Amino acid sequence: MTVTLVIGTQWGDEGKGKVVDYFSKDADYVVRYHGGNNAGHTIKVGDEVYKLHLIPSGVIQGKTGIIGSGVVLDPEILINEINELTKRGIKPKLLISDRTNIIMPYHKILDGAEEKYLGDKKIGTTKRGIGPCYSDKVARKGIRAIDLTDKKTLNKKLDHIIPIKQKILDVYKIDKKLDKKEILDAYSKYGEKLKDFIITTHVELNKAIKNGKNILLEGAQGTMLDVDYGTYPYTTSSHTIAGGSTIGAGIGPKYIDEIIGIVKAYTTRVGEGPLPTELLDKDGEYLQQKGHEFGTTTSRPRRCGWLDLVVLRHACMISGITKLAITKLDVLDSLKQVKICTHYQLNGKKIDYFPANIEDVKQCKPIYKEFKGWDEMDKNSSKFSDLPKEAQEYLNFIEKELQVPIAVVSIGPGRRETIEI
Ligand code: IMP
């Protein structure tokens, strides 16, 4: 039995879909435990490309996918994903926690309204209703998956919640009347469609652990979007670090055997907020174009920069990462020179930690170590020693600085373009 956790170490979009797909070879269960359809994971199998926002990536390999209680779930999106996969010949094996909070229409409207209200101070959210749904969960006004299967309870809850939401919409001057009956009917219908999937998933998972099954916990977003440890307030609303997985899946921390940190070979971020190693020059453009750095969920161009070890040290420390998976190394091919940020300069001092104050982060100037670039790498490389010597040096430096071994290097989107170390 092994429980393996895969998390992003940067600002999301590290290439988790491919790595999860890779590590789920031996898994019986693949679990999404936080976030919602703000995530977007791309998996390429042969010529087939799958883009998933909610369904755990491992279902493509026929694994049982679990949506844990820590997820915020948009049922309409989930049903569309199930239908889409079914049409493509994959009947997803799926279980949804009865405690999962549901994204309601007013959450989506409010996400947009709050962003509009914030103007140039906006967070740059995906506008999927993620933040407002998590806010309601903590304020104990959430609708949970189990409520969708019980129209009476749902009705009672909506009677209480909808007038409050209507007042908030009115304050934001949004010309929208929430129709309780319409919402009740639509969400009860979703409940009918999903009821066979909705169970007490933490009981199922703990039984699976006792029975020696292999479990893969699939993180979404990345460490720097964590609501406590990221670039707050420019973060998502959930815990993207390792600690979030045990809460969101409902298993004890002692069961986790490996924590794989996914590191894109450079840095990207979508939305607002500081990005200390951001490149606003031709190198940034090169990474954006070559790396196809456009959001899977919102198609927004991703901001690009050099690899940042201050961020990665922070991620390794908070999550106790045991192994690294480096992705998109090939995107750095053909650059004359590549750089890694080792420290920041803040108010004349060299620092090696990530400051809490967002205004300080904005002032941080990266201190770089420069590396000689390398030519196009051979996409058929199957061992570390097949990689260009300069690329090996780049990887060795990362490993030495973080003191965490690299287990996997990805050099292309396909399953075969993966080097095991
Ligand atoms: P929200 O999660 O939609 O509330 O967005 C909050 C911030 O997290 C925004 O900057 C988003 O761009 C970012 N974000 C959310 N999900 C992802 C993701 O899967 N990849 C990268 N950024 C994300």
Q: Tell me the per-residue pLDDT of 59-94, one tens digit each, with 9 for 90 and over.
A: 988 999 999 999 999 999 999 999 999 999 999 999
> Which pLDDT value is given to residue 47?
86
Find the 129 Cα to ligand 1 centroid distance in Å.
Answer: 11
* Amino acid letter for position 205: L
Domain 3-90+201-420 CATH assignment equals 3.30.1780.10: no
- The closest-lying atom of ligand 1 relative to the alpha carbon of residue 38 is 16
Pocket flag, ligand 1, residue 240 (CB < 6 Å) = no
The answer to whether residues 367 and 341 touch, using CB atoms and an 8 Å cutoff, is yes
> Which pLDDT value is given to residue 376?
95
Residue pLDDT, tens place only, 48-59: 889 899 999 889
258-264 and 323-327 strand pairing:
parallel
Q: Hey, whose CA ends up nearest to atom 10 of ligand 1?
A: 271
Block residue for tokens 């309409």: 76
Query: Is the confidence at residue 109, as pLDDT, over 90?
Result: yes
Of residues 60 and 231, the one with the higher pLDDT is: 231
Pocket flag, ligand 1, residue 124 (CB < 6 Å) = yes
Please pick, among 34, 41, 53, 314, the residue that the annotation labels catalytic.
41
Q: What are the domain boundaries of the chain?
A: 3-90+201-420, 101-143+150-194
Residue pLDDT, tens place only, 322-365: 999 999 999 999 999 999 999 999 999 999 999 999 999 999 99
Find the 298 Cα to ligand 1 centroid distance in Å.
Answer: 10
Residue among 14, 115, 137, 221 to mutate when testing ligand 1 (max atoms within 8 A of CB): 221
Query: Which residue in 147, 32, 36, 148 sits closest to 95, CA to CA?
Result: 32
> Which pLDDT value is given to residue 296?
77
Show the DSSP H helices in 51-173 as ranges: 75-87, 105-118, 130-138, 145-148, 151-171
Query: Which residue in 114, 117, 132 sits closest to 74, CA to CA?
Result: 132
Task: Provide, rounded to the nearest whole percent, the portion of the chain with pLDDT above 70.
Answer: 100
Residue pLDDT, tens place only, 246-279: 999 999 999 999 999 999 999 999 999 999 999 9
Q: What CATH class has 101-143+150-194? A: mainly alpha
Find the 328 Cα to ligand 1 centroid distance in Å.
Answer: 20
Collapsing DSSP to helix, strand or coil, 169 comes out as helix
> CB-hemisphere CA count at 13 Å for 332?
28
Mean pLDDT of the chain: 96
Of residues 403 and 41, the one with the higher pLDDT is: 403
Burial of 70 (0-12, 13-18, 19+ CB in 10 A): buried
Q: Hey, whose CA ends up nearest to atom 15 of ligand 1?
A: 38
Pocket flag, ligand 1, residue 75 (CB < 6 Å) = no
Mean pLDDT over 177-198 rounds to: 98
> Which pLDDT value is given to residue 155?
98
> Which pLDDT value is given to residue 43?
81
- The closest-lying atom of ligand 1 relative to the alpha carbon of residue 126 is 3
Query: Which residue in 63, 128, 74 sits closest to 100, CA to CA?
Result: 74
Pocket flag, ligand 1, residue 15 (CB < 6 Å) = no
Catalytic annotation present for 41: yes
Is there a cis peptide before residue 92, judged by omega within 30 degrees of 0? no
Query: Is the confidence at residue 195, as pLDDT, over 80?
Result: yes
Residue pLDDT, tens place only, 364-383: 999 999 999 999 999 999 99
